[in-house]
Structure 1
Amino acid sequence: MTAIKQAPTLTGVDGTDGALAARADSPSFRDTLTRYYSLTKPGVLYGNVLTAAAGFLLASRGQVDLWLFAALVVGTTLVIASACVLNNVLDRDIDGVMDRTRKRATVTGSIGARPAVAFSVVLGVAGMAMLVAWTNWLVVAVGLGGFIVYVVLYGMLSKRLSIHGTLVGSVSGAAPILAGYVAVSGVVDVGAVLVFLAVFLWQMPEFYSIAIYRHEEYARAGVPVISVVRSIRNTKIQILAYTVAFVASTLLLPVFGYVGIVYTVVMGAVGAYWTWLGVTGLRADDDDRWARQMFRFSLVAVLALCLMVSVGPLLP
């Protein structure tokens, strides 16, 4: 009988089996899945989907079409995820400089630009297909418009070229709540404008707070945010102005009869505290600490808004 020849093994310089070492170095399926998932910016993703759900529930006023709600939420989630993945690809140069983003998969190279773009396309096509099939043309238009604004007008252009990049980005950030509302209403009415305006204005103090406590990182990356181009003092004033505008916009909903007294009391209290916090920033000694407080409470404010917009029509 002919002896069976053993396949040659690859031995490393330290005497280890090269094949085993190669398998150890290659990421597992779970690791790869986690990396791709991280490209969707889960924090940003779910925050935006929450506002879409809130807009939907406000317009529904207790009469929820569960199939339409599911189509809106899943379709919107996929479209936003697609935009976030593509933004990661475009921002590799900036992300590599900033501490909070330098470990992203598109920066480290654990996921290449080409597979990331392919992932984005799959997500985007699937999401838009759901919106086209099961929602209305207004939702599709808002979704497509939000995608273009975020990826092109914000990510590729204004973020890198203008101090007003945050204003442009806030348009796309307010698109989900508008999409949720018009999915039910089928029209852009006063309620649609007010919820869009509230989320648009909310993003300004939220991001400007980040621009203060990450001022040095943005300066290193060459991103012309307000705190870098103008000054910390000017940014504080802008934060306070936009906070007051946000509070005013939220309190217009009861004026037009969309919500009642419970909503008014809760959002009035939230708005009063956030405004007071903004005023304290004008004389704060530790700018970074104050900015982090403003940012953290901005999350409380938007959660309160989404909750109260969702249940407000059902309460006194």
Structure 2
Amino acid sequence: MLDAADRKGTRAGAGAATIDITNRTSIDSPEFLGDHSAVTGWRQTVADYVALTKPKIISLLLVTTLGAMMIAGEGFPSVWIVLWTLIGGALASGGAGAVNHFIDRDIDTKMGRTKGRPVVTGRIAPWQALAFGIALEVASFALLAIGVNLLSAFLALAGYLFYVVIYTLWLKRVTPQNIVIGGAAGAFPPLVGWAAATGDLSAGAWVLFAIVFFWTPPHFWALALLIRGDYERANVPMLPVVRGVAETRKQIMIYTVIMIATTLLPLATGTSGPLYLVLALGLGGWFLYDAILLLREQTQRAARRLYLYSLLYLALLFLAMVIDHAFVV
């Protein structure tokens, strides 16, 4: 048996042990999570700034830039010219996207597709998005002017200004033809690529511009059909909101036919040959089938099908030009 002193010492030791255990840092405590939270916050900030650039749009624009570079001359341009052009193009496109986040922050709060954007949620301040967008374009111009040529730098700047000023600031909120005219901004990358590879702009470059220009309305209006409610809530006069769903489907069909006809012009300029013709007709036929399906079914499923295929279509069309060019050369 323990005497009184031993029992007292034992209780004191147990108390000390208890105090030691309760004073240990919990895995849920701020002290433990401090570094982890800092890392998580840093990653979120980087992700937000990347989101400002609209990377999905950049990837498709760079496909048309690279495709134009590959077919502009008799041979392929140097690896360094390709690298600087793609980086410069990505910076210009990303800068335009960031400025768009700044300008559209009021209507983005009303649209389900955009209400989680960094500026809308407050994760990035509006002035930071604007400064970031301008800085990216400055970097783009400097890189293209020094590493490639002045013509490509000015063309990238023109595309940037067309998207920010003509489309976002002016046309987007005032006319249902916003995407028809403003969509020209997305047609500048082939010009940038062509100019980077050759130092000039021949008829072939402008044909590529026209292809992307006429591709834009059916592509974007298919998306507008899917998110028509968003545009209504934001009071943005997209075609389905102003002219109705039925009229939008008709316009998609009309522009699809014009686009397919335009894709045959590279043969007239000597940019592409018979192999491209076969591939272009096949790709265009599929696009036309989806447009007819949308006109007949009048369903969201048909609109989604056309929208998704339109993304693949543009990339495959430019790939067809490159394959044809490589085969001929």
Q: Same fold (TM over 0.5)?
A: yes
Alignment of 1:288-307 (within 5 A): 288-307=300-319
Alignment of 1:202-213 (within 5 A): 202-213=215-226
Q: Are the equivalent residues in 1 in contact too, given 2:68–2:191 (CA < 8 A)?
A: yes
Structure 2 residue ranges without an equivalent (≥5): 1-27
Matched, 1:260 2:273: yes
Residues 51 and 189 of structure 1, relative CA distance in 2, 3 Å threshold: same
Give the whole-Å Cα distance in 2 for the aligned partners of 1:76 and 1:232: 35
Q: Which residue matches 1:199?
A: 212
Among candidates 275, 300, 324, match of residue 312 of structure 1 = 324
Amino acid at match of 1:301: Y
Give the whole-Å Cα distance in 2 for the aligned partners of 1:285 and 1:121: 41
What's the offset of the Cα at 1:18? 6.6
Q: Secondary structure at the match of 2:172?
A: helix
Q: Which residue matches 1:161?
A: 174
Q: Which residue matches 2:45?
A: 32
Q: Secondary structure at the match of 1:311?
A: helix
Give the whole-Å Cα distance in 1 for the aligned partners of 2:283 and 2:260: 8
What's the offset of the Cα at 1:17? 6.2
Among candidates 48, 57, 61, match of residue 44 of structure 1 = 57
Question: Please, which moves more after superposition, 29-38 or 135-144?
Answer: 135-144
Larger Rg: 2
Alignment of 1:114-133 (within 5 A): 114-133=127-146
Give the whole-Å Cα distance in 2 for the aligned partners of 1:20 and 1:90: 40
Q: Are the equivalent residues in 1 in contact too, given 2:53–2:94 (CA < 8 A)?
A: yes
Residues 187 and 24 of structure 1, relative CA distance in 2, 3 Å threshold: closer
Give the whole-Å Cα distance in 1 for the aligned partners of 2:108 and 2:36: 28
Q: Which residue matches 1:235?
A: 248
Give the whole-Å Cα distance in 2 for the aligned partners of 1:92 and 1:22: 32
Question: Please, which moves more after superposition, 196-205 or 54-63?
Answer: 54-63
Q: Are the equivalent residues in 1 in contact too, given 2:141–2:154 (CA < 8 A)?
A: no
Count of residue pairs the alignment pairs up:
300
Question: Please, which moves more after superposition, 162-171 or 102-111?
Answer: 162-171
Identity of aligned residues (%): 32
Q: Secondary structure at the match of 1:161?
A: coil
Q: Secondary structure at the match of 1:110?
A: coil
Among candidates 106, 112, 120, match of residue 93 of structure 1 = 106
Q: Which residue matches 1:106?
A: 119
Q: Secondary structure at the match of 2:157?
A: helix
Residues 161 and 62 of structure 1, relative CA distance in 2, 3 Å threshold: same
What is the root-mean-square deviation in Å for CA atoms of aligned residues? 1.8
Query: Residues 143-176 of structure 1, C-alpha deviation per residue, up to 9 Å, x if partnerless?
Result: 1111111011111110011111102321110000
Give the whole-Å Cα distance in 2 for the aligned partners of 1:145 and 1:168: 14
What's the offset of the Cα at 1:20? 6.9
Query: After the TM superposition, which parts of structure 1 deviate over 3 Å for at least 4 consecutive aligned residues?
Result: 16-27
Give the whole-Å Cα distance in 2 for the aligned partners of 1:116 and 1:20: 33
Matched, 1:148 2:161: yes
Q: TM-score, normalised by structure 1?
A: 0.89
Amino acid at match of 1:123: L
Q: TM-score, normalised by structure 2?
A: 0.86
